[in-house]
Structure 1
Amino acid sequence: MQQQLHVNDLGRTHLLGIGGVGVSAVARLLVARGVKVSGSDAKDLPVLRELNSLGATTHVGYAAENLGDADTVVISSIIKPGNPEYDEAVRRGLRIVHRSEALSAVMNGYFTVTVAGTHGKTTTSSMIAVMFREAGLSPSFAIGANVAGIGKNAELGEGRVFVAEADESDASFLNYRPDVVVITNIEADHLDHYGTKEAVYEAFHLFASLLPEDGLLVCCADDPGSMALARRIRKEREDIRVQTYGFDDAADRRITDVRTEGSTVTATLEWGSGESVELRLPVPGNHNLLNATAAFAVGVDAGLEADVAARSLGQFHGSARRFESKGDARGVRVFDDYAHHPTEVLAALKAARTVAGEGKVHVVFQPHLFSRTREFSQEFAEALSLADTAYVLDIYPAREEPIPGVTSELIVNALETSGGAVAFDDAAKQVASVAQEGDIIMTVGAGDVTELGAKIVEALNV
């Protein structure tokens, strides 16, 4: 195991892709820790001006001279040879670290809570941060989306706890040194990186194995992948404490007596021999009850009283692009969700069904990545068929080149509901035309489909 960097080791630090959500979070934290920070991005984004106001120096466009007198260069997985700043850093022999290594350096010395999983890690880590914050512990955090009520995705607090979302997409979570690991679920995803589902599962095992003696592993009892990991760690590492949570009767933290009213869901959490507490969340869906129960387990283990942990979680009002309200018009509510895996899409639409009540659910879905569409087209179609109407946009390529024969038609052809393929520019008007008072419209996907929310509200007003 390589020695963990400390923030004081970094020196002057230049970040490539500084406008990205993950890299900008690291930049904010580095500035807060007193590091001299600069960075570049291909686009002139509002976050660059925010970072400038904090004391960083930012550049639009990549050029070798932007490195200045940097000692360390921070990159993400999308930065490749051929980028002039990356190539210049290699030529100079500068220290080049992944974004996760820089974040790990910032977290060095804190009590670190990390949240990983194929789905739910952003929401769960946000819930943990809000819980500790509302309980008065002033945690630091770095999360993949802005947290409602806080308005940012990274902050350096005054307490000893650091909460971090741990990204498994490129196995970079193996650069962390956690004291607590939460595994929300494990499924085959990011096969463009891993190749096989077995490799995905092994990466999560390696991540959990990073826990120190007396570290805590929290696993979802309702997810087969997560539970398989819990059983394996229990056999291999008797020095690690393992807790499970979920609706399953065998879970250490059990969810019972669920009641839903509009966007609010209430349940009883039970554990031990008769202990219980009521949990009331202002965000819908059983998946959010699971996320909150994982957060509750972390909080109680860290010393919070059960009622304080539950009450603090009740102050969580969501994360950006996680069932986020985009407005309403004509009695139709519009929401946006980042879901980009079939399990996530299904959970989002189940939550929408609950919120809609007697109303209908209409969805505009944008597939993300050609490889993911190829692997899960049938599963996407099955999940989308829960909606009354499902419109499917062209695939958002992100980091990938097209794959011959792989288009959104693979999903459209398998749909078992009304709707079908729709062009991006026509989607807002089309979905608005079918919605009636009391219905819900959702834009779903990890790409620029999020831009349609405001356009749909506008189309509803016509």
Structure 2
Amino acid sequence: MRGVATDIGPIHFVGIGGIGMSGIAEVMKNLGYTVQGSDVAEGYVVQGLRDKGIAVTIGHAAANVAEAAVVVTSTAITRSNPEVEAALERRIPVVRRAEMLAELMRLKSTVAVAGTHGKTTTTSMVAALLDAGGIDPTVINGGIINSYGSNARLGASDWMVVEADESDGSFLRLDGTIAVVTNIDPEHLDHYGSFDAVKDAFVEFVENVPFYGAALLCLDHPEVQNVLPRVRDRRVVTYGFSAQADIRGVDVTPVPGGNRFACVVRERDGSARTIEGIELPMPGRHNVQNALAAIGVALELGIPDATIQQGFSAFGGVKRRFTKVGEVADATIIDDYGHHPVEIRAVLAAAREGARGRVIAVVQPHRYSRLGNLMEDFQTAFNDADRVLVTPVYAAGEAPVEGVDAQALVDGLKRRGHRSAATVTDADALADELAATIQPDDMIVCLGAGDITKWAAGLATAIGERR
């Protein structure tokens, strides 16, 4: 690796079990660096890193950075962390995750995928199409790519595909050769202060593209469309279902386990051609939209139409993106990371499209601040669910906020006309409730960015034991 010498000494990741941190750690390990880290708890990501030869300590302590040459932190790590304090005291460089990712990106041409929702799936699809095209990219993603069994991979080519996280503004350090913006919604307002500041950040992200690169923007999303007149001197390619899009999805047909669709490609000379019969093994119209972004990237890199078709047909999906995790009493259990109202609507629409029976949503609100700021949006996001069961808020380190809790969400759902919404106190209570009420062909969709995934993983067994 040019730039940072591999013999600088141990690179210590604080919070290495985070999905964004682990990918960078894994790639740097594969590049020949000495990598170590710490996290507050065990988990499948931590175990996966250990399996790759990375030493991980559970718990944060000053002693963990005694031999470190560099300390890398995520947005979740504060300056009061004992490892960060010790590093600063010893004058060990402390860098943010995005700064380290930017160093990796400097060495390659990069596809950077940003947006409030859909980043992880879109990044995975781009990687799949580049793989199919023989490009062999380095990939750093925000979710486990099923075909890799990991969220990261070191490739042999000069191309890199990364998920660009906008949550703390640090994605502005990531200068992509090709930038993708899937959508722009009010999110992370605790950092930005206003939605206008969020929109300004995405404009800057697009303008960071070099003159020889391209920005792919989703024309279906009004706030992304509003970016267009603000971008100067950069080549823009639009995608979506809009008749005005350069990469346009048409003839979307749900099929078992996914969608079939066609793509109309408008060339620079104004002519158009159609890529027919694309089979995407993921349900939901929103995933077709994500696929259109990946098609746009693939075409920029000269990947043939037939290879694009092959790449999608072999796409293995992403962990926790509409992932089937169990069956019980002829009902299906789905685990999904969706935790924003827009994501929840899209996931439940996909569930409604594919369900033979009722759709039962089990939602774990993630952060009091998000639930409070978007309460009205949450209260109208569950219309495609026949039943809604709301768990306690997953705090993610935040203090409780009076009047912002599971009951407030349930009350709001009922005021807005939902016929069946209730709270559940814990995983056992959820299993009790479902064991008594599920019916054949029900689809139980567990939603959230916290530990609801553990509830989902054990739910089939827990229900079975109670029936």
Give the TM-score normalised by structure 1: 0.94
Query: Residue type matched to 1:99 in 2?
Result: R
Cα pair 2:175 2:205 within 8 Å, conserved: no
> Which residue number in structure 2 is paired with residue 441 of structure 1?
444
Note the residue ranges of structure 1 that are not aligned, 5 or more in a row: none
Q: 196-205 or 52-61: which moved more? A: 52-61
Cα pair 2:189 2:195 within 8 Å, conserved: yes
- SS of 1:368's partner is coil
> Which residue number in structure 1 is paired with residue 330 of structure 2?
331
Cα pair 2:325 2:457 within 8 Å, conserved: yes
Cα pair 2:434 2:463 within 8 Å, conserved: no
Deviations 1:25-71 (A, max 9, x none): 11111111111112122223444444344333322222222213322
- SS of 2:229's partner is helix
> Which residue number in structure 1 is paired with residue 402 of structure 2?
404
Cα pair 1:373 1:408 within 8 Å, conserved: no
- SS of 2:185's partner is coil
List aligned pairs for 1:369-380, cutoff 5 A. 369-380=367-378
Cα pair 2:39 2:59 within 8 Å, conserved: yes
* Percentage of matched positions with identical amino acids: 38
Query: Residue type matched to 2:389 in 1?
Result: Y
- SS of 1:8's partner is coil
User: What is the deviation of 1:109?
Assistant: 1.5
Cα pair 2:259 2:281 within 8 Å, conserved: yes
- SS of 1:14's partner is strand
Partner Cα separation in structure 2 for residue 20 and residue 208 of structure 1: 26
Cα pair 1:429 1:456 within 8 Å, conserved: no
- SS of 2:307's partner is helix
Partner Cα separation in structure 1 for residue 255 and residue 194 of structure 2: 41
Cα pair 1:281 1:314 within 8 Å, conserved: yes
Q: 365-374 or 47-56: which moved more? A: 47-56
Q: 373-382 or 180-189: which moved more? A: 373-382
> Which residue number in structure 2 is paired with residue 223 of structure 1?
221
- Cα distance change, pair 57–450 in 1 and its aligned pair in 2 (3 A): closer
Partner Cα separation in structure 2 for residue 360 and residue 305 of structure 1: 41
> Which residue number in structure 2 is paired with residue 320 of structure 1?
319
Aligned length: 453
Query: Residue type matched to 2:286 in 1?
Result: H
> Which residue number in structure 2 is paired with residue 456 of structure 1?
459
> Which residue number in structure 2 is paired with residue 232 of structure 1?
230
2:249 is the counterpart of 1:255: yes
Cα pair 1:185 1:225 within 8 Å, conserved: yes
Partner Cα separation in structure 2 for residue 392 and residue 53 of structure 1: 36
Equivalent of residue 55 in structure 1, options 53, 56, 81: 53
User: What is the deviation of 1:307?
Assistant: 2.1
- SS of 1:363's partner is strand
List aligned pairs for 1:56-135, cutoff 5 A. 56-135=54-133
Partner Cα separation in structure 2 for residue 54 and residue 448 of structure 1: 25
Cα pair 1:384 1:390 within 8 Å, conserved: yes
Equivalent of residue 19 in structure 1, options 4, 14, 17: 17
Query: Residue type matched to 2:436 in 1?
Result: S
User: What is the deviation of 1:6?
Assistant: 3.5
Partner Cα separation in structure 1 for residue 377 and residue 42 of structure 2: 37
Deviations 1:333-360 (A, max 9, x none): 1101111110100000000001104x11
Cα pair 1:120 1:291 within 8 Å, conserved: yes
> Which residue number in structure 2 is paired with residue 340 of structure 1?
339
Partner Cα separation in structure 2 for residue 53 and residue 337 of structure 1: 26
Cα pair 1:215 1:241 within 8 Å, conserved: yes
List aligned pairs for 1:176-325, cutoff 5 A. 176-233=174-231, 236=232, 238=233, 240-272=234-266, 273-278=271-276, 279-325=278-324
> Which residue number in structure 2 is paired with residue 421 of structure 1?
423
- Cα distance change, pair 127–164 in 1 and its aligned pair in 2 (3 A): same
Note the residue ranges of structure 2 that are not aligned, 5 or more in a row: none
Query: Residue type matched to 2:239 in 1?
Result: Y
Cα pair 1:364 1:431 within 8 Å, conserved: no
Query: Residue type matched to 1:93 in 2?
Result: R
Partner Cα separation in structure 1 for residue 148 and residue 115 of structure 2: 23
Deviations 1:364-388 (A, max 9, x none): 1011111111121221121113200
Query: Residue type matched to 1:448 in 2?
Result: D
Cα pair 2:239 2:292 within 8 Å, conserved: yes
2:433 is the counterpart of 1:430: yes
Q: CA RMSD in A?
A: 1.6
- SS of 1:153's partner is strand
Partner Cα separation in structure 2 for residue 180 and residue 104 of structure 1: 14
